[in-house]
Amino acid sequence: YLTAMSMKGETIEEITASAEAMRAHCVRLLNDEEVVEIVGTGGDGSNTFNISTTSSIVISAAGVPVAKHGNRSASSKCGAADVLEELGVNIHISPEKSLSCLKEINLCFLFAQNYHLSMKYVAGVRKELSIRTIFNILGPLTSPAGASMEVLGVYERELLEPLTDVLKNLGVKSAMVVYGLDVMDEISASDKTAVCELKDGETRTYELSPEDFGMDISSKEDLVGGDAKENAEITLAVLNGEKGPRRNAVLLNSAAGLYVAGKVDSLEEGIKLAEEVIDSGKALNQLERFIEVTNR
């Protein structure tokens, strides 16, 4: 059934209904403030380092509440849960503790299998099929925190407009759905990125390039990660201020999160703020606090 559905292509209505059903059955994070989610569908085969996870640390260090919803790897070598665990974050804390973590430091990690309890029956099948299924799409649409602002990376350009419509149907107010043209479910530092933006109830589609922001276009190989240990080292290097393509990727994606949250009025401003947060040591300090609070 999953394979057949994947081959025919899911409709906006099917995806919306499936996401609503998953949201209705998940353990909810009962937060009263609006949060940002920055997440990719995976399934792009690019095996980049954990760009959106690193970006979520930067965004939250700038004062924007981020509820990062993620899982262990399904189709890459290292998922958000894997890299955070390697960095020393306790990913197994209760929803109550996650909520107090969010309130204290503007950041929490919601380990999908602790919130979508029925998904554990699907995990084995997904790993076995090792093709993209509707679950690649549903994970990022079913945040237990009910994020109202989202940066969503997708694995193919054809999903940009449909998934923006789905987010709108689900009550998201402000979003950027992005696809790196070098087949990347993030804003790419190694090619142009196609974007469908949702703002004030309207959607518009456009392209952006690292060169628009004075960055050199890097090679895609520069963004490739490895296992959890390698990816944790890359995240630490970026948060420690190491310059280069990896930093550029994190700046671009962090800027998108700051922009959809309304913290900045443009991606240019977002990049500037993300640079300040990293270079002042705030982002690294945020990771240290995240490790400390989750292990209390």
**Domains identified in the chain and CATH numbers:** 2-294 (3.40.1030.10)
Q: How far is CA 112 from CA 164, 201, 243, in A?
A: 22, 29, 32
**Per-residue pLDDT band at 288 (split at 50, 70, 90):** very high
pLDDT exceeds cutoff 90 at 289: yes
Q: Please give the average per-residue pLDDT across 193-197, as a whole number.
A: 99
Distance CA 126, CA 206 (A): 33
Compute the average pLDDT of residues 86-113: 96
Confidence band for 43, pLDDT divided at 50, 70 and 90:
confident
Say which residue, 131 or 291, is predicted with more confidence. 291
Average the pLDDT over 193-212 and give the result. Answer: 98
Distances (CA, A) of 283 to 57, 208, 218, 279, 289: 6, 25, 24, 8, 10
Q: Among the residues of 240-296, which ranges form H helices?
A: 245-260, 267-279, 282-294
Residue 36 identity: V
Between the alpha carbon of residue 140 and those of residues 86, 87, 145, the distances in Å are 22, 22, 12
- pLDDT for residue 269: 99
Per-residue pLDDT at 186 exceeds 70: yes
